[in-house]
Structure 1
């Protein structure tokens, strides 16, 4: 098969640049227009800042999760790691943001390195490995905090990260998330490491035979995911004024839902950081609109319905992915069958 034929069957550009990804973007725009037309304060500065500031944590862990899922893995520990990092950052907040911020990120990266070690060295499946670290991080945060919230030091500059604006324009959390998203995009789209991550998800054994650094790429993905979770934990402590060991429950599902809604395949090999961010914003915007509807008295849904909605989104999108994958597999096999039939004739 020549290179032209191989390019014709390369599904990567199709999924990452159109189809579901474009559909999610259009859905996001439609929701924004709907909200602006229906609610008086929907486009106000306070609602926009609050929405982006709160969802910054979920966007962060979704970006990290995207790189992991692209390799064909999964990271179930991100929510518990964020909670653990929030406790670490709260304890170190008296020393200022310059100490608490890197400490929280390093705590998250340490769990990411542990995940990579268990998966790559001990050969434990990612689902089991990250489930174990989920429990370990959750238990560690409860032990470290005594199962209580840890108040931050309000006399230091630690709370500026979650409560103040950069250059009096945008919240610091939003600016930092934008920087992280750009870095992740550059890594995935413009570096050999990004191409390796995609190749590993497309076929780990084939990638190894090609001489690619499979282990290094997967280790990077898990450490990057852990670092994003750690940074989300710092945002949590700084924005809410306390390290919260009981937070983070279900965050991994939110991240997975955002990644999958954005068009990344759970089987790996295809995905986009930009689409993941759009998916996270779409899910967050759905809940923002529901809050406005609750305020109008149109409906009355508790916060617990958020999990039901996330689960429904995830289920429907997975069904869609399975259908698309079957169709493309059938189309990909059709030329081979025709060639075989011609050869036998």
Structure 2
């Protein structure tokens, strides 16, 4: 086999690129420990009101929507990018789901996912081909998608209702083994994401592109294709979350999903993925999602604190975790 053939046909990991996501467990060890401590502390402080099966199920349900978005965000951040449009895409997907439900379950699912895929494709093309900064492209997509959601909903004056007897509604509100269906679907997406990220050439290329784009290009990694596909994945998963939210609530509101993009980024960073790309894991993202949702639930248990304090605590917690991870990263051997 020639050198050129080796460069094109061999995954980046085998070519010797530094895939840091596989070699820095110390920086990710803190989040699971903190999650365990928070769970134990919540059970001791609030008893059954926190540790009951119903409350934990509600945490899992709320976390399932965020997990879907955060999975896609993990792929994007690992590749060295950022996606600010996912919250607006969730809202647009929910509105289009409720709008398409008049024609049945299939259009209600296909229409929003197709539209979200187009958004992801345009984002990816502008970033990968036109080389426009991801922040600018996805910020524009955030505004465009949110505006389109309000336009479909007649500036928010029209609320589309999904019939209760529709298959989509029954799916969104079903329970399997005590957990809501969206939780199982999010876990399925998580499992598929883990396999793709850690067991496929595409996943290895995502790490390589985020770690060192120039080196990845020299080693034959399809950099432009990878950067395009991660935005499609992110947009489609945001669309899936929107479909499930609409199915669960039987409606589509253009105001939902505000701030979800920042929450997803926070979950990914708390889970140990570097914002600079090239290092991280989906298991860490799962822990980050659970941490955010458990902390928010504990704040609700207090009762006297408003929702604004959730943002204060979450923001403070994010800064603390990032500072700790930064100190650990400086200490690890290169």
TM normalised by structure 1 equals: 0.86
Structure 1 unaligned regions, length at least 5: 1-5, 295-299, 333-345
Q: Distance in 1 between matches of 2:293 and 2:170?
A: 24
Q: How much has 1:156 moved relative to structure 2?
A: 1.5
Could you tell me which residue of structure 2 aligns to residue 27 of structure 1?
34
Q: How much has 1:218 moved relative to structure 2?
A: 1.2
Could you tell me which residue of structure 2 aligns to residue 114 of structure 1?
122
* Structure 2 residue 248 is matched with structure 1 residue 244: no
CA contact (8 A) 1:94 1:156 kept: no
Q: How much has 1:37 moved relative to structure 2?
A: 2.5
Q: Distance in 2 between matches of 1:257 and 1:161?
A: 29
Q: Distance in 1 between matches of 2:80 and 2:112?
A: 27
Distance 1:247 1:72, change over 3 A: same
Mapping 1:122-137, distance limit 5 Å: 122-137=130-145
Q: Distance in 2 between matches of 1:110 and 1:11?
A: 32
Higher relative contact order (CA 8 A, sep 6+): 2
**Alignment match of 2:241 (pick from 232, 238, 251):** 232
Could you tell me which residue of structure 2 aligns to residue 286 of structure 1?
295
Q: Distance in 1 between matches of 2:252 and 2:167?
A: 15
Q: How much has 1:162 moved relative to structure 2?
A: 2.6
Instruction: Encode CA deviations 1:56-90: one digit per residue, 9 max, x unaligned.
Output: 11111111100100001000000001000000100
Q: How much has 1:327 moved relative to structure 2?
A: 4.2
Mapping 1:1-345, distance limit 5 Å: 11-15=20-24, 18-38=25-45, 39-148=47-156, 149-166=159-176, 169-294=178-303, 300-328=304-332, 332=334
CA contact (8 A) 1:257 1:313 kept: no
Q: How much has 1:325 moved relative to structure 2?
A: 4.1
TM normalised by structure 2 equals: 0.89
Q: How much has 1:320 moved relative to structure 2?
A: 3.3
Structure 2 unaligned regions, length at least 5: 1-14
Number of corresponding residues: 316
Q: CA RMSD in A?
A: 1.9
Q: Bigger radius of gyration, 1 or 2?
A: 1
